[in-house]
Structure 1
Amino acid sequence: MSSPRLPKRPHDPDLTVAGEEFFFPDVRTTVNLFAIHTRSVRRDWNYPPHEHPQYEINIVLAGEQVMVVDGHSFIQRQGDLMLLRPGMVHSSRSSGQGFTYFCMHFDIDDKLFLSLLSRLEQVLFPADGAVAKQMGPALSKLLDLSALEDMGISGDSVAKRMRIQSAVFELFATLWEAVSSEAAHLPGRGYVQAELAHQIASRLQGRVNQPYRQAGSAEKQDGIEGISSELGISVSHCNRVFRSVFGVSPRVYLSELVLHEAKLLLADPQWSVQQIAELLGYGDIAHFSRQFKRWSGQSPTSYRKSVAPESSSE
């Protein structure tokens, strides 16, 4: 998370003259990748019916395969993409000739992304369709990583894993863009709720990142009311939708964001607790100290000593 703009110090340039500023969104997404591989098989190859708890992306690179998904048979030709949801029973076999395919299993904790994927009724996306075409360049970048062995980057090296993660996130971004238009016409209250909850979360994050907050803004109870008004929904609906997606109320979520920001600032001994309280929008240091202790079980000064033992006293 980006720290808010800090108070002006005597030897600093004039920080009160605001220039252009842009906050990138926080990234708190966890992705687990399993059994990423390419394989060339013979004309008599087959894989028995099975299921797994992850999503699967399967693309035929050459030839064609027969894929049976939940009892429905599909001919998957070169460039065709299949997106299988967790729990789908599927099997595959050659269609009388050998073929080459790419396969990747994954799970991801982004609720909005998962909600979008869960709405899709389609499992096969043909090579000449919009989804497969859009994903082509990102997929090629991922497949090119097989050449890393020739570059001396082999095995389970950190560099190789980082490159794989980078390519996979690019693939997911393209998948999101491509699939969003496909899913736009489908019913899906869950997706709408997840999207609204993420809009609320984004605005809560903006409240924390907002530089030079007004004194007492963190103590006011109108933060959620303001966001509800911006989105044109009631406070009760705002709370209900947010809790259904994130499992906590918006107020608790905001408290967690403020606590995280407070810890970042306390880890830097050049800023006093008084300054940090002001930055976070508290009218007085006593209230900030009480809130911080309630959240973390430690006073701000005690926490600072635990992470920066040589810091000077407040």
Structure 2
Amino acid sequence: MNIEVRFPNMTSTLQIIGCHFGVKQPGWSYPKHHHHLFELLHCWSGEVMQTINGTSIAVRSGDWLLLKSGVRHQLENVSQEPYSFFDVHFDIDDTEMRKLLSRNPFGHITREAAARTRLPVYRIEIERILQTSLAANTTSGPDYTAVKPSFGNMLSLQAYILLMIQEMIPLLLASDEAQEEGGLQRASAFETDIAHAIEEKLRSTVYSTGAVEEIAKELNLSRSQCSKVFVKIYGISPRQYISQLKLSEAKQLLIGSDLTIEAVSRRLGFASVSHFSRQFRRWTGLSPNQYRPKHAVQPLEPGK
């Protein structure tokens, strides 16, 4: 008997911005700000005070902190020793992963909790990549040194960051459960239900235009209310979510179908091929033609 077990197709894109190690002296501070990306911070040594949406948290040596996109925060080294850290900003267009990462404005993982995971191991591997790259290829600015890792190290860096996210998700979910048991649930059941209803409707209207306004009207919400409750649960606006759905579908169609670029554009509800091509390049850094395999990829048949 022939047996074949298949994994699902995966076209998610990981975006990594501002990945760096740093050392800041006592008295250093960074003003209130926010990013449109998730932020993962590890305190290597010393201590830093993070003020997040008015809540102050001491992040100590060995601790990890995950910040949801759009959360306002500021930092200050209030200790008497240098603060050294690893920091990376990232985004990923996998909707389920974003939902898990966006459950709360931030997640604080202590050194003791992290020690029971492989987070310290992955941080050491990234440090090794840094050291190797420093010895190979660097450029210097007034207050920084930029490294250019080899192709292999770039792949390893992306893999370790994904593995870090994988390790953090169970810890964040466990923290959520503890908060809910203690009556500290940040989103009400009503808000959660509304956000999930919006999400289901967005999925069903990915090929149409004006979906957000229509969904808000259908749910007896204003457009701003619709957006606010969705961001609270999913961490991105409904329009950004639709963009992610369109990107995912565009990747699938470009890789797994023989539809022309124009047909893909029409199917996804774009007004023109040029509009679709510009948007796809913003999403991926490539044109649809550059992203599509040079030779048509036919769906695999069992046993092939």
Q: Could you say which TM-score interval applies, normalised by the shorter chain?
A: 0.5 to 0.7
Kept in 2, the 8 Å contact 1:81–1:132? The answer is: no
- Cα 1:295–1:115 change in 2 (3 A) is closer
Q: Which residue does 1:160 correspond to in 2?
A: 153
Q: 1:131 to 1:122 in 2, by over 3 A?
A: farther
Cα deviation digits, residues 132-185 of structure 1 (max 9, x gap): 745333333223211222674761532232121121122222223333333455
**TM-aligned CA deviation for residue 246 of structure 1:** 7.4
Write the deviation string for residues 67-92 of structure 1: whole angstroms up to 9, x where unpaired. Answer: 11122221111011111112222221
The aligned amino acid for 1:23 is R
Residue pair 1:67, 1:91 contacting (<8 A) in 2 also: yes
- Cα 1:133–1:191 change in 2 (3 A) is farther
d(CA) in 1 for partners of 2:51, 2:175: 22
How far apart, CA to CA, are the structure 2 residues paired with 1:191 and 1:30? Answer: 27
5+ residue gaps, structure 2: 138-146, 204-237, 269-293, 297-304
- CA shift in 2, pair 1:190/1:262, >3 Å: same
Q: Distance in 2 between matches of 1:254 and 1:167?
A: 27
Shift of 1:258: 8.3
**Residue 105 (structure 1) aligns with:** 89
- Report the counterpart of residue 74 of structure 1 in structure 2: 57
Q: Which amino acid aligns with 1:109?
A: D
- What residue in structure 2 maps to residue 118 of structure 1? 102
2:75 maps to 1:83: no
Letter in 2 for 1:33: I
Match of residue 119, structure 2, among 135, 144, 149: 135
Within 5 A, what are the aligned runs for 1:3-22? 18-22=1-5
The structure-2 alpha-carbon separation of the partners of 1:19 and 1:181, relative to structure 1 and needing over 3 Å to count, comes to farther
Instruction: Give the C-alpha shift of residue 35 in structure 1.
Output: 0.9
Q: 1:295 to 1:193 in 2, by over 3 A?
A: closer
- Separation in 1 of the partners of 2:89 and 2:251? 32
Q: 1:182 aligns with which of 165, 171, 175?
A: 175
3-state DSSP class of the match of 1:174? Answer: helix
Query: Structure 1-normalised TM-score?
Result: 0.53
Asked if 1:30 is matched to 2:30, the reply is no
The structural deviation recorded for 1:113 is 1.1
Output the CA distance in 2 between the equivalents of 1:258 and 1:107. Answer: 22
Q: For structure 1, list consecutive stretches of 5 or more residues without a partner in the other structure.
A: 1-17, 201-243, 265-291, 297-305, 309-314
Distance 1:35 1:191, change over 3 A: farther
Question: d(CA) in 1 for partners of 2:63 and 2:97?
Answer: 22
Q: What's the secondary structure of 1:102's corresponding residue?
A: strand
Letter in 2 for 1:120: N
Q: Distance in 2 between matches of 1:33 and 1:191?
A: 31
CA contact (8 A) 1:55 1:105 kept: yes
Q: Is the 8 A contact 2:109 2:171 kept in 1?
A: no
Matched to 1:173, the amino acid is: Q
- Deviation of the 1:124 alpha carbon: 2.1
Distance 1:190 1:140 in 2: 41
If you compute each CA radius of gyration, which structure gives the higher value, 1 or 2? 1
Aligned equivalents of 2:107, 2:98: Cα separation in 1: 15
Contact kept, 8 Å, 1:80 with 1:132, in 2: the verdict is: no
Aligned amino acid, residue 174 of structure 2: S
Instruction: Determine the C-alpha separation between the residues in 2 that align with 1:170 and 1:51.
Output: 24
Q: Give the number of equivalent residue pairs.
A: 207
Cα RMSD, aligned residues only: 4.1
Q: TM-score of the superposition, structure 2-length normalised?
A: 0.55
CA distance in 2, matches of 1:40, 1:104: 15
Instruction: Report the Cα distance in structure 2 between the residues aligned to 1:191 and 1:83, rounded to whole angstroms.
Output: 25
Number of the residue aligned with 2:164:
171
CA distance in structure 2 between the partners assigned to 1:80 and 1:47 by the alignment: 19
Shift of 1:102: 1.0
Kindly indicate whether the alpha-carbon contact (under 8 Å) linking 2:18 and 2:87 is maintained by their aligned counterparts in 1.
yes
What fraction of aligned residue pairs are identical, expressed as a percent?
Answer: 20
